[in-house]
Structures are given as structure tokens and as C-alpha cells.
Structure 1
Amino acid sequence: MTTARIRPAHAGDAAALHALHTATWREAYADLLPEHVFEARERDGLPAWEHRLTDMAGPSVWLAHRDGEPVGFAWAEAAGTGQVRALELAALYVRASEYGQGTAANLLQLATGDAPCMLWVAQDNPRALAFYRKHGFEADGAARRVDAWGNLAVVRMVR
């Protein structure tokens, strides 16, 4: 199979990225999040995407597509003062049909390069944990729960 094409996202991609974000969350977190979290994301997520893609000072969002269909996205941003790494991978999601195709690895490379980086990942998502370990990340012992995501347990990984 050929690799997905990846390009910088633009303001016209907001609706497609919102739909993709919702779909990838349902695929990745079906057994981890309560339905109301998915419903809230579907209902309220589009304005966040519109803002993210029109904020000239915001991070670059990378959009992967295959045969004209969006299949994945990623972005990294400054982590803020006092964090263990200056760069945080804020999001990296691909459709389940892209698992094992190299799309996520290519998105990770574009979003973070080889920079020291941190990310938060669901504690009960073994596929994601293994993917990040394969790409040099290790859990550093930090953990928290995200109330807005149905009290989801997440762990921090760094490289």
C-alpha cells in the first residue's frame, strides 16, 4: 500500500478535521470513554478547530489523506514554563484503517522531528503506548485524570 499524503492543514479543513477527530476518538476510545464525552466533542468541537486553524500564532496542524479522504492528523505546541520538555505532542490520531501503514509515524515526524518532547496518552491504550515506545518515548511516572474526558486516566511519556 502506498503511504498517505500529508500536508499542512488550513482553515478550509476545519469541518473535515472535526469529523476526523470525532471518528478517530470513537475508534481509539470506544471502550474507555462514556458516550456523553463523544457527544460533547461532536457537538462542540468545530469552533475549536476553526480557531486552531485560523490562529496565525498557533501550531501547524498536519493532515494526512488517502485518495482524498482525511485519515489522520497531528500537531505539537510549546509545553509552557516549568514542563519537563519544551515541546508537547498535543494530538496524533489516525483512522483504524491506517494502523500499521506508517501514517502515524510520518505525522509524528512532521509534528515533532527528533526534538525532546512530551505527550499524554491514555493509560489503558496499549496500542498507543507501544507506538510511542517504538518511537523513543518512555513513561516518566507522571499520571493524572482528565475530568472532561470522563475521568480518563492518562500517563505522561517523554523522549
Structure 2
Amino acid sequence: MVHVREMHAADVEAVSTIRVRGWQAAYVGIVPQTYLDAMTVEGDASQRRLWISQPGRQSRDLVALGDRGPVGWICFGPCRSEVPGPRRLGEVYALYVSPDLIGQGIGRRLLEEAHGQMKSQGFASSALWVLSDNQRARRFYEGSGYQADGTSQEDAYDEITLTELRYQRVL
């Protein structure tokens, strides 16, 4: 059983560990190994501290707490590429669970809480981006009601270009 709450500054190191270890586990064979090997918890934590201290930041960060402290993290807010219109679009920017705890419902719990908060903030739908080769994540999001909407973008990792697919769902 996990409890979900707002992320605190004291959670940064744990969240960075979850994110870096999550990348290094989930993206083996997808993202170049040199990129994954170069990721460090210290570097991520340094950037995360800057990120959460930005004045006027509109994103929200939640952590899932288990017996050993934070075991999952989600970051969400307004869609970064939204065209203004009557239906507001939210976006899940990141969702990671400690690799040894994947499959225990922690990611789903975090996603449900984020969806509830986005809906209460007036968002009608949620979007997110998934690497096209990350079949496990795609199945997870599809099982959570997301569908690929036909939009894609390219991102470079150590000079290797990978395709991301945008998924959306109604909240």
C-alpha cells in the first residue's frame, strides 16, 4: 500500500534516484547505453532542485510513499504544446516507479491521482509522450485509457534519433 502526496524538497534525492534508475532499467536497448551510463543521481538532483524552485512554475510533482520512503514520482501540468482553445489539455511530463516495484500498482495510483488533480484544475484531457519502442509503457498507458493520437516527434540521444508518440485521454 502506498500513500500519494505532494513532493517536498527533501524528496529530491529519492525522486532523482527513482528517475535515473527508472531510465536505466526501462530504456535498455532503446536509448543508447552511453546516454544511460552518463546519467547520475547527483546531476539529476541538481537540475530537479533548480526546477522545483522556479517561481511561477505551473507543474505539480507527486510522490508515492511506501515503507522505504518515495517509491514513485509523477510530474504533470498544462500541456507544453497546447493550442489555446475551449478544452484545456493537461500533460503528464514524467512518471517513474522504482524498477524493483514495477507491476505493483504504484504507477497506476500516481496516474489516477494526477488525473484527479488535473480534472479539478479544469483540464478536460491529458496528453503524454512515450518512446515508440517502449512497448511496456505503451501497454501501461493504453490500459489506463490513453490512445496514440497520431502525433509524433523526434528526440536525439547521443546523436541517435528516437521517435516519441503522443497519447491522449479524456479525464
Greater share of strand residues, 1 or 2?
2
Q: CA deviation at 1:40?
A: 4.0
The aligned length equals: 157
Normalising by structure 2, we get a TM-score of 0.81
Q: Secondary structure at the match of 1:75?
A: strand
Q: What is the aligned partner in structure 2 of residue 141 from structure 1? A: 150
Distance in 2 (alpha carbons) for counterparts of 1:6 and 1:88? 19
Q: CA deviation at 1:70?
A: 2.6
Distance in 2 (alpha carbons) for counterparts of 1:93 and 1:134? 16
Equivalent pair of 1:77/1:89 in contact (CA under 8 Å) = yes
Q: Secondary structure at the match of 1:17?
A: helix
Structure 2 residue 35 is the aligned partner of structure 1 residue 25:
no
CA RMSD of aligned residues (A): 2.2
Equivalent pair of 2:16/2:48 in contact (CA under 8 Å) = yes
Distance in 1 (alpha carbons) for counterparts of 2:166 and 2:143? 15
Q: Residue type of the partner of 2:127?
A: M
Alpha-carbon displacement from aligned partner over 1:114-144 (angstroms, at most 9, x marks no partner): 5411100011111111111111110011112
Equivalent pair of 1:85/1:118 in contact (CA under 8 Å) = no
Q: What is the aligned partner in structure 1 of residue 168 from structure 2? A: 158
Gaps of 5+ in 1: none
Q: What is the aligned partner in structure 1 of residue 91 from structure 2? A: 88
Percent identical residues: 29
Gaps of 5+ in 2: none
Structure 2 residue 126 is the aligned partner of structure 1 residue 109:
no
Decide whether aligned partners of structure 1 residues 148 and 33 sit closer, same or farther in structure 2, where only a CA change above 3 A counts: closer
Q: Residue type of the partner of 1:54?
A: S
Normalising by structure 1, we get a TM-score of 0.86
